[in-house]
Amino acid sequence: MVDAAFVPGCQSPGDPAIMPDTVVPDEVSERTLARTANIFAEDGRDRPYRTSGPTDRLRDSAGGPGKSDEDKPRSRRPLYMLAAVVVLAIIGGVVYWFLTRNLESTDDAYTDGNAIAYAAKVSGYVTELHIDDNTFVHAGDLLLQIDPRDYTTARDQARASLSLARAQLASSQVNLDIARVQAPATLEQAKAQLAQAKANQAQAERDYRRQHAVDPRATTQTNVDQAIAQMQTTTAVVANADARVQIASLVQQNIQVAEDTVHEREAQVAQAEANLAQSEVNLSYTTLTAPADGTITRRNVDLGTFVQAGQQVFYIVRPEVWVTANFKETQLADMQPGQPVSMTVDAYPSLTLHGHVDSIQEGSGARFSAFPAENATGNFVKIVRRVPVKIIIDSGLENRHGLPLGISVGPTVTVR
């Protein structure tokens, strides 16, 4: 026989009746006691008393009282660990706020710089090409050569036209000198001829009166006719000489005409010189050189390509790079030029740049867009604007030519 368990006032449906002094196996007793313990635990009552049996005695001999897991006291270690985590999180948040309270950062920032759009000034075939994609060039380096033969011919024609204009100018200057001397002399000559014609006219009039004053029997009809003809001839000569005097009297006008001719020839010389200069400039445009140091990008010309005047052939990206950061308008309250900036570059995670705020644009990006917002009509939704801030890079690029334009940068400005 084995010990039995006595459970007063408890019987579970389906279990055998457990009455005092009832003998049951230990296995059945264990299951019954477990169910009874659960029922008492749900009702909030103490567990029933149980006498010790062989199993309990075996447990006692194994080194411990026969108690279930629910009878063991719960550990408070998880509560302590949770409290410690919460405290550390609060301390970390306070430290982070203290360290970042004077910092303003943005992800809307990109590298910026000067990109020179290089275009051909004259048209022609490319006969020489000395560059390739992403080639670094220095100011004055020969980049490409356009066929110069047409422009060389035009220059030679301009030189010939200039020589002709200069010869015509020299001739007109000689004519001016002649006019300044010849015009007054011609006037004096015309006056002398007029005086001679008047003297001949007076002599002819006297002969005419003499022939008509004598007795017709003392002269002949021939003499009378000659006197009449001589008087008419001298009268015509006087009129002609008087006209010459009037023409020759325009001395200043004649000199002015010669001077105007000289001025005209001088203008022709100046025009020919300008044409020659233009032809030489056009010839020089066939040789394309680098205007500044930089890197060739977006090259769209090759050897043998026919380029048009004004056609863009490539870009030259200058090595000077800065950062354009678009900060929110709510971040600009304490931001001023000269404040230090630290920057990270997404393309180069190990690269850290240092610089300073150079200037803040006087206007948001939306104000200078192609289609600025019109808020005077319709519904209005307030949107936080962004203002471009120019940041100059002071250090960090000592071992690099520069940075590609348009890559993302993460600037952090120390505003206080």
What pLDDT sits at residue 32?
Answer: 61
Q: How far is CA 142 from the centre of its chain?
A: 24
**Statement to judge: residues 161 and 248 lie in one domain:** yes
| Residue 190, H or E segment | helix 149-213
Give the whole-angstrom CA distance, residue 181 versus residue 174: 11
CB neighbours of residue 171 within 10 Å: 13
> Does residue 141 share a domain with residue 290?
yes
Tokens at residue 55, please? 């199993």
pLDDT for residue 1? 38
141 and 257 in a single domain? The answer is no
What was the pLDDT predicted at 34? 60
Domain that holds residue 393: 103-112+319-414
- Burial of residue 356 (CB within 10 Å: 0-12, 13-18, 19+) is middle
The three-class DSSP label of residue 157 is helix
Same domain, 278 and 290: no
Tally of CA atoms within 13 A in the half-sphere of 224 that contains its CB: 11
Q: How many domains does the chain have?
A: 4
pLDDT along the chain (416 residues), means of 10: 42 45 49 58 49 47 50 75 91 82 89 93 94 92 94 95 94 87 81 82 77 67 76 83 80 85 93 95 94 92 93 92 93 91 91 93 82 70 89 86 87 88
Beta strands in 120-217 (DSSP E): 124-129, 136-137, 142-146
Same domain assignment for residues 18 and 43: yes
Which pair of structure tokens corresponds to residue 131?
């560059």
End of a domain among 272, 307, 342? 307
Does 95 reside within a domain?
Answer: no
CATH number where 343 lies: 2.40.30.170
Pairing of strands 109-119, 312-328: antiparallel
**Which pLDDT value is given to residue 42?**
52
Q: What was the pLDDT predicted at 233?
A: 83
Asked if residue 3 and residue 42 are part of one domain, the reply reads yes
